[in-house]
Amino acid sequence: MVKIVLVTHGHLAQQMLETAGQIIGKPSDDGFATFAVTTAASVEKEAAKLHELLKSCEDGALILTDIFGGSATNISLTASKDLPKCYVITGLNLSMLLTAMNNRKKLSSKELAEKIEADGKRAVINATELLIKGL
């Protein structure tokens, strides 16, 4: 089963996981982890900690980060660079996390990475244009 690790600035990762749990129920296993990045974080030190968490994921892992180019993503890329079944997906939103929670037991890490990326993009909608203005 694919492990899901949320790596974000501050407490966003923990809050996202708790919110997703309120919507579809809390995960019944330890297949999820959160990793908070602070302003004082050293990329090398934090990446080493994250690598320790990831290296035992036999079925692979997906790391969902908040923003491309940020410390959370840089740490995640450094930590996962020698792990072939580990994918880093940026732009974390609730839709992506729900997709991960609902599909991680039935898809490979690569398939899940592709699905999460597609579902995350589909979830970004200009609701004003779509619903109110009817365009």
Q: What is the pLDDT of residues 34-55, one digit of tens each?
A: 999 987 778 888 899 999 989 8
Residues 6+ apart with CB under 8 A from 121: none
Q: How far apart are CA 117 and CA 121, in angstroms?
A: 6
Q: What is the pLDDT of residues 68-126, one digit of tens each?
A: 999 999 999 999 999 999 999 999 999 999 999 999 999 999 999 999 999 999 999 88
Residue 127: both structure tokens together = 């609701």
The reported pTM is: 0.90
Tell me the domain boundaries of the chain.
Answer: 3-132
| Residue range 3-132, CATH number | 3.40.50.510
